[in-house]
Copies of this chain bind each other. A is one copy, B any other.
Amino acid sequence: MTAPLHLISLNDLPQAEIESLLVRARDLKRGDTQPTLQGKSLGLIFFNPSLRTRTSCQVAMFQLGGQTVLLSSTADFWDLETQEGAMMDGEKPEHVKDAARVLARYVDGLAIRTVREPGPRYREDRRDEAIHLWARHSTVPVFNLESMLWHPLQALADLLAMRESLGSLQGKKLALTWTANPQPQQASVANSLLLAAARFGMEISIAHPAGYELDEQLVAEAKSSTKVRECFSMAEGVEGADVVYARSWGSLKHYGQPTVEAAQRGKLRDWIVNRDLMARTRDGRFMNAMPVRRNVVVTDDVIDGDLSLVYEQAENRLHTQKAVLERFLRT
């Protein structure tokens, strides 16, 4: 048996493959849907609640003639052991390797969301062990529905939305800006977008408060293929931008120190995207991966304005996932 192809990060795919997925997604959006996955089943495993991702995955399979089995960690199964060789006499009655191997006998693919509350150390969370363990033991393709580090299917939907609105992305200016948010989030969306935009030749600015730098290795990787500018001011960051992408993420400086981080974060309420800020752009499109806290992350007038792409981004989850599922599961 050859190892299956998994989709953990967009880095797993060559550029030509991403191009072809985007073209196929556009055609699917225009209505070119065939029952290409008749008789196929996709297992959906969520280790926390999901609205958009879950619904769009289920409908994607349905529209292609396939089916889904939904497993949520809280309601449907138990804690899984992850240590190799563990003597399993504690709370965890099953090893992730057995869950993966068995489920892979039933379904044709496994789509898994492993993102969770940060642990004490970034170094460890950054290894993204959970999603890799599933991939290691599954004999069918594993699709990453958001891990600690990556959210590849969101990035694919974002790329499609930008192309629909801007045409070629080469040389276009993307302003990725941190925003206020009472709940810290993992940087998965920002990480995946950063590397995807870089690969498509966009010029990137990243604006964030001091202490909220993105992962330095990933920024370096983006810099290796395009111009990336970092700054501590939203206004500076969005200057002349074609796209303003709003997202909040937790502080790496205070990683694993939620109380310290919350105090710091509380002072940063003015990191909100509003009309004045958007006036500094070049007809800048507003983007956000949702759920969005209105009037905290962005004002109503911007998100509800003509240049907001948020609902297209959300809708594109459906179309890009259909393209991915067809590509990986079709026999």
Chain A residues within 8 Å of B, Cβ to Cβ? 33, 39, 41, 43, 49-52, 54-56, 58-59, 62-63, 67, 69, 71-72, 74-78, 81, 85-90, 93-95, 98-99, 101-103, 105-107, 180, 182-183, 290-296, 300, 310-311, 314-315, 318
User: B293 near A88 (CB under 8 angstroms)?
Assistant: yes
What is the CA–CA distance of A87 and B296 in the complex, to the nearest angstrom? Answer: 6
User: B54 near A41 (CB under 8 angstroms)?
Assistant: no
Counting chain B CB atoms within 10 Å of each CB, the highest count among A43, A75, A89 belongs to: A89
If A98-B291, A183-B93 touch, whether A75 touches B77 (CB-CB below 8 Å) is: no
Counting chain B CB atoms within 10 Å of each CB, the highest count among A63, A76, A99, A107 belongs to: A76
Instruction: Determine how close the nearest CB of chain B comes to the CB of A321; give it in whole angstroms.
Output: 10
Instruction: Determine how close the nearest CB of chain B comes to the CB of A50; give it in whole angstroms.
Output: 7
User: A43 near B55 (CB under 8 angstroms)?
Assistant: yes
Instruction: Determine how close the nearest CB of chain B comes to the CB of A220; give it in whole angstroms.
Output: 32
What is the CA–CA distance of A41 and B66 in the complex, to the nearest angstrom? Answer: 13
Across-interface contacts of A95 in B (CB, < 8 A): 292, 294
Instruction: Determine how close the nearest CB of chain B comes to the CB of A76; give it in whole angstroms.
Output: 5
What is the CA–CA distance of A96 and B67 in the complex, to the nearest angstrom? Answer: 28
Chain B minimum-CB-distance residue to A58? B69
The listed residue (B69, B86, B315) touching A59 by CB distance below 8 A is B69
Across-interface contacts of A105 in B (CB, < 8 A): 311, 314-315, 318
29 contacts between A and B (CB under 8 A): A33-B39, A41-B58, A41-B59, A41-B63, A50-B77, A51-B99, A51-B103, A54-B71, A55-B69, A58-B69, A75-B75, A87-B296, A88-B294, A89-B180, A89-B182, A93-B291, A93-B293, A94-B290, A94-B293, A95-B292, A95-B294, A98-B291, A98-B294, A101-B311, A102-B290, A102-B315, A105-B311, A105-B315, A106-B315
User: A300 near B62 (CB under 8 angstroms)?
Assistant: no
The listed residue (B56, B98, B314) touching A292 by CB distance below 8 A is B98
If A89-B293, A101-B311 touch, whether A106 touches B69 (CB-CB below 8 Å) is: no
Across-interface contacts of A43 in B (CB, < 8 A): 55
Across-interface contacts of A291 in B (CB, < 8 A): 78, 93-94, 98
Across-interface contacts of A74 in B (CB, < 8 A): 75
What is the CA–CA distance of A321 and B37 in the complex, to the nearest angstrom? Answer: 22
User: A94 near B51 (CB under 8 angstroms)?
Assistant: yes
The listed residue (B55, B56, B76, B94) touching A54 by CB distance below 8 A is B76
User: B69 near A50 (CB under 8 angstroms)?
Assistant: no
Across-interface contacts of A62 in B (CB, < 8 A): 39, 41, 67
Counting chain B CB atoms within 10 Å of each CB, the highest count among A33, A180, A293, A296 belongs to: A293
What is the CA–CA distance of A136 and B86 in the complex, to the nearest angstrom? Answer: 45
Across-interface contacts of A78 in B (CB, < 8 A): 49, 291
User: A72 near B71 (CB under 8 angstroms)?
Assistant: no
What is the CA–CA distance of A264 and B78 in the complex, to the nearest angstrom? Answer: 26
User: A106 near B55 (CB under 8 angstroms)?
Assistant: yes
Across-interface contacts of A41 in B (CB, < 8 A): 58-59, 62-63
User: B67 near A50 (CB under 8 angstroms)?
Assistant: no
Instruction: Determine how close the nearest CB of chain B comes to the CB of A139; give it in whole angstroms.
Output: 10
